[in-house]
Structure 1
């Protein structure tokens, strides 16, 4: 993993000129605008909130495309600006796989909803922010099931860590799942450790940046009544900057991990 981090750092420093436009236009801008649109949703009329939600979704797709471009460039730096064309060609396959994985995740949550429904828990008040009363017996089983799902999700996420690079590098679609599963065999625990460390550092860094800067800006400029103000916009810009940096770093790392795992597999096959 240490060598993968070194290769990632080398890639970022050597390809900064090609990375900056992608990171700025396809990740930073959509992330920042999306955060501001999301802040308007709670106080917006239902129709407006629906359109704002659609805007957030479309911006998320743009950001996803940007990550595909970073992945393509990290796999083959010689692509240069043609990495965006590769991202465009592989976007449908990546989106299809994302939908499949989302559906699979939702299917795992269904038993939890069934468990609550059978116990007679009223979930209608969740939309208004009212937490339902859950019997202790159901809470225990729901907690255990939730814990199992979390552990399973972390393990599966580690085994599918290089699924996006496989889509780009191997030009696969659903087959990228099997490809990633095969490549990460024997290194899943190491991948879990790296992913947990990355998540902790990125979340802490983002919270530290937005909390500290946001507190100062809210004191200086005050809070807007409609959820949007100068302070909130500037805070989302700072948060978007930090988030973009970690997104590019994480995306490039997974691409370099894919290359390392692929080389390891080829070396093992040659023996």
Structure 2
């Protein structure tokens, strides 16, 4: 049985020992896209359909860059001796990684189908909704959607725990779709421990993000003011600070899952050898 405390210690040791190699990857592939995305969000307000489509495409490309950065950090955490070789390793695994993410996204969309069915049965007309705005939802439909989401939440947490080491399996064992069942097998018996870590991580990351964007953003807006088009020095600085916080937690979470994968694999191999 693995110890989450030991995994955290190994994660902290890895980050401390390899900060010089991690920092360029984190800055270029995670921090810069996160900071830009924060500013793009402000430009979406009142944007024309053409501009909104362009901003959406830009956000998608930035997400791919961030995902590539996570693959590079994963490769480095799995084998610190790679050094700068983690970058080409991430590039080689990017197509397979995108394929896996698309499959998981489609599976997540299937879980959202009941929400659409509930809204449709209650007469919600999606075609009449204003672009970029939520349609009017009757109270009865809102109640059923809320109950469904609340019932789905523990299921999502459990699934997230069982799929926590998909990326390390994809990078470390050069798998594609096979990384999904591989993660499922490795996390068997320790899902509840991983759920606890996920909840703690989500709470701390959310609080830190709100402190960075809401509190800091309010102070900067009072000092510098907000531009008429929604994009100003205040929004750029707020996006930069939010990007820095997001980058720190992304690097931490990525490194942790890689070390968790190594611990789970070693535990399974030791159990099989007995």
How far has the Cα of 1:37 moved from its partner?
Answer: 1.3
User: Compared with structure 1, are the counterparts of its residues 267 and 53 closer, same or farther at alpha carbon in structure 2 (3 Å cutoff)?
Assistant: same
TM-score by length of 2: 0.95
CA distance in structure 1 between the aligned counterparts of 2:47 and 2:130, rounded to whole angstroms: 18
Aligned equivalent of 2:138, options 121, 134, 138: 134
How far residue 161 of structure 1 moved from its aligned partner, in angstroms, is 0.2
Provide the C-alpha distance between the structure 2 equivalents of 1:193 and 1:40, rounded to a whole number of angstroms: 37
Q: Give the corresponding residue for 1:154.
A: 157
Distance across 2 between alignment mates of 1:35 and 1:135? 33
Q: Is the 8 A contact 2:78 2:172 kept in 1?
A: yes
Runs (4+) of structure 1 exceeding 4 A deviation are none
Using the alignment, how far apart are the partners of 1:155 and 1:130 within structure 2?
Answer: 29
Equivalenced residues, count: 270
How far is 1:130 from its partner? 5.0
Corresponding residue of 1:84: 87
Unpaired segments of 5 or more residues in structure 2? none
Question: Structure 1: any 5+ residue segments left out of the alignment?
Answer: none
Q: Deviations over 1:55-75 (max 9, x none)?
A: 111011000000000000000
Post-superposition CA distance 1:237-260 (Å, at most 9, x none)? 111111100100000000000000
- Rounded to whole Å, the distance in 2 between the matches of 1:227 and 1:249 is 32
- Per chain length, whose mean CA-contact separation is higher, i.e. which structure has more relative contact order (CA < 8 Å, sep 6+)? 2
User: 243, 246, 253: which is aligned to 2:256?
Assistant: 253
TM-score (normalised: structure 1): 0.96
Contact kept, 8 Å, 1:72 with 1:86, in 2: the verdict is: yes
Q: How far is the alpha carbon of 1:111 from its aligned partner?
A: 2.1
Any residues of structure 2 matched to 1:53-68 within 5 Å, and which? 53-68=56-71
CA distance in 1, matches of 2:205, 2:164: 17
